[in-house]
Amino acid sequence: MKKIYVYLQYPKLIFADIMYHRYKTDEIDADILTFLPKSKKELIKNKKTYALNYLLLTNVAFRNVFYFRMPKEGYLRIIGRILIPPAEWIEIGPNGGSIKGGLRLLHKASVVIAPHDAGKNFTVAQGATIGSNLGSNGKIGAPVIGDNVFVGANAVVVGNITIGDNVVIGAGSIVTKSIPSNCVVVGNPARIIKRNE
């Protein structure tokens, strides 16, 4: 039954497939690997387009990541977004920041992800907000986030700050100051509760 559903949906996927093959990057391939369930990992070996189509049909959060990786203009994007619309409650990169491969949204719930830059394997849970803030110096800035960072549910990470590599930001934390690498932070305001050296 699932195969019939996929075959019936294929015409909707043609424009997304063309975009993928025309503008394919290592980042989107890493995102596909990150979003793909363990039971479907065999799809990626020689059938990246099949894995892409599976995710576009079954994971609305992945659609937002996919469109974030594609060029922001052009008829392929417009038609693709009409046929396979992204989630309106998920906002990724409105300020033009870059996010390396392996971006993962844990739930299909409201999030805002707008860092200045983010490293690889960046994971965000539902309700999180990552973006700009007016600093005490009167300048607006967005966070720079390292590799292998996890942002918990309903956490807020704002301002011209730096989050190091291998950081876990606990659920509900409010982060307005820089965090060094290899730390776990929680609370409002966020404080380091563990250092992993």
Res 51: pLDDT? 85
Rounded to two decimals, the pTM is 0.85
Residue 80 corresponds to which tokens in the numbers above?
Answer: 């693709």
d(CA 165, CA 104): 16
Q: In 3D, which of 111, 85, 102 has the Cα closest to residue 25?
A: 102
Q: Which residue has the tokens 């990626």?
A: 44
Q: Is the pLDDT of residue 107 over 90?
A: no
Determine which one of 12, 81, 107, 108 is catalytic: 107
Helix, strand or coil, per DSSP, at residue 180: coil
Residues 19-35, buried b or exposed e (16+ Cβ, 10 A)?
bbeeeeeebbbbbbebb
- Summarised one tens digit per residue, pLDDT across range 141-161 is 889 999 999 999 999 999 889
- Catalytic, 21? Answer no
Res 140: pLDDT? 81
d(CA 57, CA 158): 32
Q: Is the pLDDT of residue 137 over 70?
A: no
Per DSSP, the residues of 11-41 read HHHHHHHHHHHHH--HHHHHHHHHHS-GGGG
Res 98: pLDDT? 87
- Summarised one tens digit per residue, pLDDT across range 52-79 is 888 898 888 999 999 998 888 888 888 8
Q: What is the mean pLDDT of residues 84-110?
A: 86
Helix, strand or coil, per DSSP, at residue 55: helix
Is residue 149 a contact partner of residue 122, using CB atoms and an 8 Å limit? yes
DSSP count for the chain of H helices, then E strands: 5, 17
Q: What is the mean pLDDT of residues 15-40?
A: 87
pLDDT above 90 covers a percentage of the chain that reads: 39
- Summarised one tens digit per residue, pLDDT across range 35-48 is 888 777 766 666 78
Residue 157 corresponds to which tokens in the numbers above?
Answer: 């990470």
Is residue 126 a contact partner of residue 111, using CB atoms and an 8 Å limit? yes
Is residue 115 a contact partner of residue 143, using CB atoms and an 8 Å limit? yes
